[in-house]
Amino acid sequence: MNDRSQNTSKMGQNWTIVIFGFLALALSFSARSSLGLVMPVWQEEFGWSASFISSVGATGLIVMAMIAPFSGRIADVKGPRFTLNFGLGLLGIGCGIVALMNSKIMFVIGFSFFCAAGFGIVAVHVVATAVSRSFSDGNSGLASGIALSGSSGGQFVIIPLIASLLAFVSWRWSFGVLSLASLALVPCILNALSGPNTKKAGQSPEQVEKSDQPRSSMADDFLYLVKQPVFHALFWSFFICGITTTGVIETHLLPFASYCGLPPLPSATAYGLLSAVNLGGMILAGWLSDRVNRVLLLATIYILRGLTFVVLASLPGQTIETLYIFAILFGVVDYSTVPVTASLVKSYLGLRTMGLAMGMISAGHALGAAAGAFAGGYLFDLLGNYDLLWTASLWAAVGAGAIVLLIPLKPKRDPEAPYQTAPAE
C-alpha cells in the first residue's frame, strides 16, 4: 500500500473514532438524563419517594466525580480503547440491572455503582484523550468539537427514543435498549481504535506506551500536574464553568422561568433550544481552536458567557422571546469550553498525562456544579429571588476568563513532559 493509501486509511480510521466517541457520549449522557424521565413512573409503580430516587442519582454523580481522575489515568496507561470499552461494559451492565430491577438495592447497585462508574469513564475527558491521540495539532480541535458534542447533541435522538419506549412499551425497555446499545458499541470501538491510528505529530498511543522511558506512577503524574500553573488555571476556570452551567443553569433555569410567570411548555422548549445550540457551539469552538489563539478564545468564551446573564437577569416582566434569546446566546458559550480546554491540556501539559489531567479538571467541573446547584437554592430560599445568583454568576464567569488570561499565549516545551506538543499559534 502506498503512502497516499495509508494516509487515507489512517484518516478514515481517525474520523471513525470521532463518530464512535460521539455515540459513546450520547449514550452515557442520555442514560444520566433518563432518571428524570422515569422518576414519576417509579414513584407510581414501586411507591418510591422522589427524595430516594434523587438521592440515588446524587450518589451516582458523586461516584462519577470520584472516578473521573482514575478513569483518566487508565486512559493514559491502558489507552482509550480499553478505557472506553471498560466503561461501556459497566454502563451496559448497569442499565441491564436497572431494566430487570424489582427492589431498591438493585436500583442502587445498578445506577449508583455500575452506571455511575460507566458515566465516570465514558466521559468527555476520555473521549478528548482518544481524539487528541488520533489527530495532530492543528487538526484536533474540530474533531474534538464534533466528538464531544455527543454529550449534548446526541441526546436529541436518544432521549426521545427513551421517552417513546417509556410511553408505548415499558420503562424496562428504555433501559434495556440503553444496555444493548452500550454493549454493541464495544466491538465497534475495539475495531476503530485498533492498530496505529494517529499521526506522528499527534503522538500515537504506541509512542506513549512503548517509550523507552519508564511509566511514571499516578502519584508522580499528579504531583507534576499540581506543580503546573497552567493546570491550576484550567482547573479553577473549569470549576467555575461547572458552577455557571450545570450548577446554575441546568438546575435553576426552568424554576426561574416559572418564578417569572412563564408557562412550562414554552420554557422547556427554550431549554431544548439551548441544548440544540450547544451542539453547534462545541463544533464551532473546536474549529476555531485550530485557527486562533486558544487562550484568548477560551477567555472570550467565559467573558461572553458572563454577559449572557445580563439578558437572563432582565427576564422578569419580559415575554418568552427573551428566554429564547438567552437560550441561543448561552447555548453558544455553554459546552464550547470543553474542546478548547482539551486542546490546551494537550499542548501545555502533554499527552502523557492528558487523561489524568482532564479527569481531574472534569472532577473540578462536577464539584463546581454541585456548589452552583446548592448556592442557587440557598440564595433563593434566603432572598426569595434569583437576582444575586445571576449577578454572582456573571462575575464568576468573567473571573474564569481572567484566570485563563494568566496562561502564556504560547506553550513552552517542558523537559519533564516528553509527550507535550507545542504547536505554532
- On whether both 351 and 395 belong to a single domain, the answer is yes
pLDDT at residue 418 in the model: 45
Give the helix/strand (H/E) hosting 179.
helix 171-192
Residue 199 is predicted with a pLDDT of 41
Is residue 410 situated within a structural domain?
Answer: no
C-alpha cell, 109: 447497585
Tally Cβ neighbours within 10 Å of residue 207. 17
- Say if residue 308 is in the same domain as residue 246: yes
DSSP state of 258: H
Of 196, 231, 262, which marks where a domain is finished?
196
- Cα atoms in the Cβ-side hemisphere of radius 13 Å centred on 75: 34
User: What is the model's pLDDT at position 211?
Assistant: 41
Judge if 189 and 242 occupy the same domain.
no
One domain, residues 249 and 175: no
Q: What length is written for the chain? A: 425
172, 54: one domain: yes
Alpha-carbon separation of residue 373 from 49, 331, 358, 397 (angstroms): 21, 19, 22, 15
- Statement to judge: residues 168 and 289 lie in one domain: no
| CA gap 313, 136 in Å, rounded | 42
- Asked if 232 contacts 399 with a C-beta cutoff of 8 angstroms, the reply is no
Burial class (CB in 10 A: 0-12, 13-18, 19+), 80: buried
Look at residue 138 in the predicted model and tell me its pLDDT: 64
Q: Which residue has the cell 468564551?
A: 301
With respect to residue 227, please indicate whether it lies within any of the assigned structural domains: yes
Give pLDDT tens digits for 216-246.
Answer: 788 888 899 999 999 999 999 999 999 998 8
> What does each C-alpha distance from 231 to 109, 125, 129, 199, 353 come to in angstroms?
34, 14, 16, 26, 11
CATH of the domain at 151: 1.20.1250.20
Answer whether residue 386 is part of any domain: yes
Return the exposure string of 55-74: e unless at least 16 CB atoms fall within 10 Å of the residue's CB, then b.
ebbeebbebbbebbbbbbbb
**Contact predicate 248/368, CB 8 Å:** no
State the total domains in the chain: 2
CA distances from 395 to 137, 204, 399 (A): 33, 40, 6
The pLDDT, as a whole number, for residue 206 is: 41
Residues of the domain holding 13: 3-196
Instruction: Sort 173 into a burial class: Cβ within 10 Å, 0-12 / 13-18 / 19+.
Output: middle
Looking at residue 340, what is its pLDDT? Answer: 93
| pLDDT tens over the chain, length 425 residues | 454 544 444 554 577 888 888 889 888 888 887 776 787 788 888 888 877 887 787 788 788 888 988 988 888 888 778 888 999 999 999 999 999 998 899 999 999 899 999 988 998 888 888 888 777 666 677 888 888 888 777 666 777 777 778 778 888 998 999 999 999 999 888 876 654 333 443 444 444 444 434 567 888 888 999 999 999 999 999 999 999 988 888 778 888 888 888 887 787 778 778 888 888 888 899 899 888 999 999 999 999 999 999 999 988 888 889 999 999 999 999 889 998 998 899 889 988 888 899 899 988 888 888 888 888 888 888 888 889 999 999 999 999 999 999 999 888 765 444 445 444 33
Regarding whether 110 and 158 lie in a shared domain, the answer is yes
> Residue 309: its pLDDT value, please?
95
Domain annotation covers residue 425? no
Same-domain status, 103 and 243: no
In a domain, 343, yes or no: yes
* 327 CB burial (10 A radius; 0-12, 13-18, 19+): buried
Q: Whole-model pTM above 0.85?
A: no
Instruction: Report the C-alpha gap between 347 and 139 in whole angstroms.
Output: 13
Please state the three-class secondary structure of 197-246 as a single string: CCCHHHCCHHHHHCCCCCCCCHHHHHHHHHCCHHHHHHHHHHHHHHHHHH
Q: Are residues 155 and 98 in the same domain?
A: yes
Residues 105, 251 within the same domain: no
Residue of 145, 404, 141 whose CA lies nearest to 291:
141
- Asked if residue 166 is part of any domain, the answer here is yes
Closest C-alpha to 208, from 416, 423, 419: 419
| Confidence at residue 44, expressed as pLDDT on a 0 to 100 scale | 84
DSSP character string of 291-304: TS-HHHHHHHHHHH
**Whether residues 159 and 266 fall in one domain:** no
Residues 173, 229 share a domain: no
**Is 29 domain-assigned?**
yes
**What does the alpha-carbon distance between residue 115 and residue 108 come to, in Å, rounded to a whole number?**
10
Give the pLDDT confidence score for residue 163 in this predicted structure. Answer: 76
Query: 36-91, pLDDT tens digit by residue?
Result: 678 778 888 888 887 788 778 778 878 888 898 898 888 888 877 888 899 999 99
93 assigned to some structural domain: yes
